Structure 1
Amino acid sequence: MKKILGIVVGVCLGLITQAQTLDDLTNCNEEKFIGKNSETYTPPRYVPRYDAWKKWSRGRSNRLTYTLQDKRLASIGTTIITAEDIALAPARNLLDVLELYVPGAQWINADQGKVIGMRGWMAPRNLRYQVFVDGVNVNQQAHNGAINELENWDMDDIAQIEVIRGAAAARYGAGAISGVILITTKVADKGKQTQVGGNYVSGYGNFGGNFKHTVTNDDLSFSFFGSWQRTQGATVNAFTTNPRGLIGPEVGFIGQNFPSFSEFSRPAFTQLSDYNDQPQIKLAAELNILNKWKAKARYTSAGSALNGVGAQSLVQSGLVIDSVTTDVNGFPVYNSSREFSGLINAKSFRTRQMMASLSREWHHLDSASKRGYVIRAQASWNTQDFEARGDSTYTYEIDIPEPFRNRLSNQEDPLYKRYNFSETTLEAQVTGSYILPFGQIALGADYQRKNIGTGWGDAPTEIRLGDGGILVHSDDSPVYRLTQYGGVSDTTDFYGVGFVGNGWVSDRWDFFGEVNIAPVKWASVTATTRLTTHSFSKPAWNHRWSLSLPVHADHLLQVNGQIGHRLMTEAQLHEVFSYDKLASPERFTGLEARYLFTLNDRWRFGVTWYQNQSEISTLIRPQWENIATIGSIQYQGIEAEASFKTRQLLIRANYTQVFQGGVEFFDLATENFIQVKSMYLNNIPNEMAKLLFRYRFFNQRAYIQANARAMWNYEFASFETGELANRLFDAWELGAETAFELATVERFRKIYNDQNAYTLDARLDLSASLKISENITISGYILNLLSTNNARRYTFSDGVQTNELSAADASKGITPLTEFLYAYQRLKFIEEPTVFGVRVKLTF
């Protein structure tokens, strides 16, 4: 009736200009207009709509628990990175985003990919961090851990990143003992919409674009995202050391300070260049039916040159016979010279991943009894392909048979692939929570069936994985059969080769439970336990307890304790199992105390103290063929955060400090001692500070942001690269036999000491964004606008060089027991360029 009357009034007002007499207006009535008599209308009785579940669950989260808790209780120790943060970030990939926004987080180059450091922990592979995309674990369990999502340059499909700093193994499974990264992708939320974006990053020659289309209605929503990224790579100054120089140790910038006969006289790797010029691709689709069933599919690829401090390699393409002579017996002697096809980044990797998932949630809450339930179920399929080349190519002479010459001339031959395998996981998970007036109870189970096999499209004989890449298909594997020729052997000279056929299958079960009780308003207790069983491992128990005291609306105290475990990689577990043994998991214990103070809607302060102890386990060959715990590391630290936020201004500041307590060793080989100390203590700065400034203006359509961060007090690294390294130079000077050798050592010492290594590393980045119209947004940033030490990024040092004692060093009385032998070798870094990036987004 109201609509009809509105139409009538509108028509009558419109007719006023045409009415000539009063009768014209009075004759315009409802009955005459609609052509029939009006009927009496009685509206239905008003019943207010009330959804008890939405009201109860609002402001609750389950980041660290299976049950839904107050958002404040679950947010301490967690960093939330929004889509707006990502859009404004002066970042190339997710690793840069983590370093910008997460307190105490950093990344550095490593021998097998880039690695994350957080809360005083950094290892040569990201095995102690777990990455989830929309609830699916995308880690590579066979060897590298977290790698694929961290390397991709396009992040426009990400809606939010939640970073849990520290252990969360009881909630996210064995292995989540240093941090958890939860990625949530964007979903369709605005009817029918299409977005097209493009980007360019100078210095690295990166350019690409993406496309997104969404459709929504009352019953379903669908979204599709696709992106393409091409990166040519940056030519950077790279500083490295070479303990195997022709006349002694060599140090300097690759291609600049090394003599012409050195392998490092060639240019350095092209940093962050695509693997074999293959662009990065990302495809994702989501279907949401009745806001209950969610189906998702995703494909990502990434790859680049590794480490950054290796020299480019020359690929031999053939031989030219310059002359033929005869020996004393009359047999021909061929004098030949080699032909090379050019310089390449031999040491590089590529990873590709496909995943699909189907999930459903059921929930109910009775408002009268305050009882209810939440049931979540998810099934997923995840497969990834990984291959990585070694850091050098092979050369050959005329005595190598022609078929093998062709192989040695082809960098894509399986011979050069240090790792080449695929990993496929089928997973099913169900979690049920029962809600009570005074708390919640949760139970659940998770099953994974994992298949480790040959790479996508590869022959069965090309499988290669394991520590050092020593697990191959069989004794006929093409990565193994060339060892009869000098210079073509792999690690087979040092360890026995494990044969794996076409791969293997493993099963893993997780059973978990949780109790969350809040007997009074000012106290909440949570206890979580999780049991993990694996076909090739001993069981792993993970426990977490938490006491939260929201003593006031503005103050919150929380104490957490955890016992977590990490299973070894699938390759390590299978190798040990092949000797009829079950590997022991690596144990972690931690204690945290947190305080959060919310002054008002603008000011927020928090401080966290933690103390951790982590076992260090490794695969011992060839005597034991088992996982052995060689020691444990103790460390503690503090994290302080403050933020101020208004409608236009956002300021965040944080400070972290790590107190490294040292390593307790067990009675094993001395070289393991040195390796562990160098690996886990020397790659982390003791202190770090970060500052974010963001200002909105022009009616909230324009942003400007500045990010500053500083790292300093590398306690262990600066001692090694300073005092210990110079002791080694003293020993080499003392052992110099000629004036030329003495002058060479002195020259390298000066180059080394001029680097001012491991002091203050500080950077300033700027970014800005402008929404020109409802359809066009443009943003830009400058990375490394200001920096100390030329934006130096160090390379992870694992201390392995202690086992590379040359005969010349041994003749000088240097032994592996000499602690400073490897000290100077850890100084490796690249100088990142100052670059400009621009992004454009069009919305239709």
Structure 2
Amino acid sequence: MSRIMLVFAVLATIAGPTRAETVTPGTEPFRDMSLEDLLSVEVYTVAALTRLTPLESPAGITTITAEDIRLTPARNLNDLIEVYVPGALWMNQETGPVLGMRGNISSRNHRYLLLVDGRAMNNKSFAGASPELEMWDLGDIERIEVVRGPGSVTYGPGAVAGIISITTRKPGAAVGTTASVGYVDPYDSRSLTLSHQMKADAFALFAHASIVDTRGEEARTFQIDSSNHGGFVGRDYLPGSEALDYYGDFDDDPQLKMHVRLDFANDWQWWTRYTQQGSNWFSNEIKTDFGGELVNQQGTSSRQVTTAVQRDVIISDTLSLSAMLSFDSYDFERRRDRAYDPDRHSPLNYQVRFAEDEVLAHGVLEWQAAEWAQVALGAEWAHDRFGPGWGDDKREMRQGESGEIINGADSLALSPGNRNSADRQAPAWPAIHVGDGWDTNTTSVFVEANLAIVAGHKLLLSGRADQSTYQDWLYSPRAAWIWTLTEGHVLKLIAQRASRMNTASQMYANDWHDLHNRPEELDSLELRYSAQSSPALGFDLSLFHNDSGVIAFQGADNSNRQVGDLELNGMEAEMHYAGERGSAGMSFSWVELQDWKLAPGVFSSGVSYSDYNLQIGGTAGGTQVGTGSDLNNWPNQSLKVFGNYRVAERLTLHVDARWYSEMRGAKDGLEGLGNALAGTRSATPDFQAALDRVAREDAYDSDIRFNALLDYAVSPGSSLQFFGQNLFGGDGNKRYAYDESTKNSRAAPTRVRFVEESQSWGIRFIHRF
């Protein structure tokens, strides 16, 4: 470690002027450019290490600007992505909301990397990309860039399905203080934010703080139990019970965010960020009875603090360096649904409860080798420590898919006969003792060559290799051919492989059991056409094919492991327009399953019901076999439109709407269940009544959403906003729970769970001093 630190310290002290700030398409500088300049300027994008023109970027990138964020009615980043990113959607799940793009979705956000100012913020041991996705306050963000498709060649293992890159506000860009207050009904959500920027000769500062207190609403939550009784919790089902408060804060602790960035000494940056968020599980569960009181027991909570020192310098006319040294600490808890112990906060009532700390060193050297050749070479090293949560005794620690990784025999998560004891799966999967934790090291090297081989043609060759303590070397190569057909029209052919390591806790458990750690790998081929007919109007069209070996959670042994091989095809079409009075965009997405094959020894998965072989209902039931030919948990098509329009000098209107086709793959599961039990003793009148009830609720039918916001400029420094979500109302605004399909062996449609999201209305006042 000391040698690596020394190398980065030496590199960071090389004298030189500041390298230009990274600029990406969709941000303000591009709106004022001529078409000629727009097509020729080379910038750094989130999809590459070297400079390219905006149309040459080797990936589909959606840029959400600060103005988009300000004018869009969205509860959090998940909502915002669902508005603007082609095909993207999110679903509820027991560990929190899960995001999907291009048909790639799972029970946790492991297949995406989330970056803040270039630094990966993912939870490596369990939760993945969280908590940034669930924060209500987005006022510190300058832009969000979403890469659709593989990205591990640039940012490392984990980005097999996409990258979400957050860039915070630059210090000194708008000197002064900005405050806002807001309220959203029916979530009873109250917010207060404060930002300050200042600029002096020697430094520039940006500071942001916010608190958002959300009590949640008693939403209409639908579920069916294993006895085929079901309906809306607290209404026509379980009348003595209450559903969890939807969007309610974990233990009534409000969301907190603090971010400080200091630019100094011409080319140095230091920033520190703290987030705290937690919520009741979004999976339509019920409150838990503790001593006669119904409480929001189930939930997840996370706290994260990150600090980084960065320097971007130009060493010479042909050589530049970007270096970063960072520390991150992440505290995470997931509390279970039942009272396994009278003390709500006993480790016996938790699945996981831990913290992970990381020291990260990262550097990229870029060389203009010739007029026609750019080369980027980089390295990264991370040391991670997995141990007790912040302020916890080591006996309270729980890690692993079923909380089986504990400190030792004196763990407070051990209790003979308790159904949530850490050793409950012994002897097959006994508790693993790690004392006060364990450590891993990850080493990465990466390179990119950008070659303008002949006029109008570029070849982009990229590669990355990553290795950790419990994972052999992973390789992520990419080759992109970029052909400028005519001015403003570019065709790109991109072939690449993306890799993902399993969760840190699963890799440790596998190593403890002498099992080989296999990565998740995705091979992708994409043909992309980009056109910019004027500075105001642009088009994009992508055709892609993905082939991946999927790692997912398996309820049979409570592990994350290889579950099958997936092939799918897709298409995305986009149009975007920016004029003097506003902007607009639309997109269409189509994804179709080509093939799905379960891995040996795996009988079910959440990917598709097309290959399935699970015994249902025991000896009284039958076997559910493959049904249909579609992806589960996914609509095959989606259409999105959005726009901002300045109605009058002081009044701006935002509208957005989206349509998702029916989830045919989820309906396949219900059809297969009915076929499996037909003619068996499990095909009871109650079972048929449950299926009929699901049909009456139009489960998995198409979904339409419509949102709007009015922004009135009270004065040059103040604005008043009124906004609403789900304005079509009715019972069509269903937010489904992700169907893992690994424990659905009961003779009942228990896999059907959803929340009917209410119309919501909000008000926000923003004032700049």
User: Do the two structures share a fold, i.e. TM-score over 0.5?
Assistant: yes
Alignment partners' CA distance in 1, 2:420 and 2:58: 55
1:359 and 1:457 mapped to 2: Cα distance?
30
Q: Which residue number in structure 1 is paired with residue 33 of structure 2?
A: none
Deviations 1:304-359 (A, max 9, x none): 0012411111013xxxxxxxxxxxxxxxxxxxxxxx2x111111011000000000
Q: 2:233·2:286 contact (CA, 8 Å) conserved in 1?
A: yes
Over residues 83-128 of structure 1, what are the superposed CA-to-partner deviations in whole Å (9 max), with x where a residue is unaligned? 0000011101111000011111100101211000100111000001
Q: Which amino acid aligns with 1:698?
A: A
Distance 1:604 1:665, change over 3 A: same
- The CA distance in 2 between the partners of 1:749 and 1:657, in whole Å, is 29
- Equivalent residue for 1:658? 591
Deviation of 1:645 (Å) = 2.4
The one of 546, 554, 566 aligned to 1:633: 566
Provide the residue aligned with 2:4 in structure 1.
Answer: none
What is the CA–CA distance in structure 2 between the aligned matches of 1:488 and 1:383, rounded to whole Å?
27
- CA gap 1:266/1:501 in 2 versus in 1, 3 angstroms: same
Q: CA deviation at 1:500?
A: 2.1
User: Is 2:409 aligned against 1:475?
Assistant: yes
Instruction: Name the structure 2 match of 1:61.
Output: 44
Aligned to 2:109: 126
Report sequence identity in percent: 26
> 1:746: Cα distance to partner?
5.2
Secondary structure, aligned partner of 2:576: strand
Q: Secondary structure at the match of 1:469?
A: coil
Q: Choose which of 237, 243, 253 in structure 1 pairs with 2:232.
A: 253
Q: Tell me the distance in 2 between the aligned counterparts of 1:153 and 1:486.
A: 36
Residue 355 of structure 2 corresponds to: 422
The residue type equivalent to 1:702 in the other structure is L
2:308–2:326 CA contact under 8 A, matched in 1 = yes
Q: Does 1:223 align with 2:169?
A: no
Stretches of 4+ aligned residues off by more than 6 angstroms: 50-57, 486-490, 619-623, 673-680
Q: Classify 1:783/1:225 alpha carbon distance in 2 versus 1 (closer, same or farther; 3 Å).
A: same
1:565 CA displacement: 0.9
Q: Name the CA distance, whole Å, in 1 between partners of 2:489 and 2:280.
A: 48
Instruction: State the alpha-carbon separation in 2 of the partners of residues 191 and 657 from structure 1.
Output: 41
Contact conserved, 2:247 with 2:282, CA < 8 A, in 1? no
The one-character-per-residue Cα deviations of 1:12-63 (angstroms, maximum 9, x if unpaired) are xxxxxxxxxxxxxxxxxxxxxxxxxxxxxxxxxxxxxx99989999541232
Correspondence for 2:658 among 686, 691, 709: 709
Asked if 1:838 corresponds to 2:749, the answer is no
Match of 2:440 in 1: 506
Return the match for 2:739 from 768, 777, 797: 797
Equivalent residue runs for 1:598-609 within 5 Å: 598-609=532-543
Q: Name the counterpart of 1:412.
A: 345
Corresponding position of 1:303? 278
Give the superposition deviation at 1:254: 1.4
Aligned partner of 1:692 in structure 2 is 642
Give 2:10's aligned residue. none
Matches within 5 A, 1:430-445: 430-435=363-368, 436-445=370-379
Question: Which amino acid counterpart does residue 528 of structure 1 have in structure 2?
Answer: S
Matched, 1:271 2:226: no
Alignment-derived partner of residue 530 in structure 2: 596
| Paired AA for residue 578 in structure 1 | W
Pick closer, same or farther for the CA change 1:71–1:184 going to 2, 3 Å: same
Shift of 1:502: 1.2
Max Rg structure: 1
Alignment RMSD? 2.7
SS of the aligned residue for 2:256 comes to strand
Who is 1:563 aligned against?
A: 497
Question: What residue in structure 2 maps to residue 786 of structure 1?
Answer: 728
2:53 and 2:177 map into 1 onto residues whose CA distance is 36
Letter matched to residue 335 of structure 2: R
Distance 1:434 1:448 in 2: 25
Segments of structure 2 that go 5 or more residues without pairing to the other structure are 1-16, 22-36, 613-629
Counterpart of 1:351 in structure 2: which amino acid?
S
CA contact (8 A) 1:108 1:793 kept: yes
Contact conserved, 1:576 with 1:626, CA < 8 A, in 2? no
* Contact 2:160/2:521 (<8 A) preserved: no
Q: Do the aligned partners of 2:644 and 2:652 also contact (CA within 8 Å) in 1?
A: yes
Partners of 2:429 and 2:587 in 1: CA distance: 47
2:330 aligns to what? Answer: 384
Residue 355 (structure 1) aligns with: 306
**What is the Cα deviation at residue 749 of structure 1?**
3.9
1:705: how far off? Answer: 1.0
TM-superposition CA deviations, 1:190-225 (whole Å, max 9, x none)? 574111111111100000101111110232101211
Does residue 172 of structure 1 match 2:155?
A: yes
User: Per chain length, whose mean CA-contact separation is higher, i.e. which structure has more relative contact order (CA < 8 Å, sep 6+)?
Assistant: 2
Following TM superposition, by how much is the alpha carbon of 1:670 offset from its aligned partner in structure 2, in angstroms? 2.7
Measure, in 1, the Cα distance between the counterparts of 2:725 and 2:606: 39
What is the rounded CA distance, in whole Å, between the counterparts of 1:472 and 1:731 in structure 2?
Answer: 47
The CA deviation at 1:734 is 6.7
Change (3 A) 1:292 1:682: same
Provide the C-alpha distance between the structure 2 equivalents of 1:181 and 1:601, rounded to a whole number of angstroms. Answer: 25
Query: In the TM superposition, what is the alpha-carbon distance from 1:484 to its structure 2 partner?
Result: 3.2
Taking the aligned partners of 1:611 and 1:529, their CA distance within structure 2 comes to: 20
Matched, 1:682 2:682: no
Q: Could you say if the C-alpha distance between residues 485 and 691 of structure 1 is closer, same or farther in structure 2, counting changes exceeding 3 Å? A: closer
Q: State the match for 1:610 in structure 2.
A: 544
Alignment partner of 1:120: what SS?
A: coil
The CA distance in 1 between the partners of 2:198 and 2:726, in whole Å, is 40
Which residue does the alignment assign to 1:241?
Answer: 224
Residue 724, structure 1, aligned to residue 682, structure 2: no
Normalization by structure 2: what TM-score? 0.89
1:483, distance to aligned residue in structure 2 (A):
2.7
Structure 2 letter corresponding to 1:703: T
SS at match of 1:575: helix
- Larger mean Cα displacement after TM superposition, 505-514 or 675-684: 675-684
Alignment pair present for 1:70 and 2:3:
no
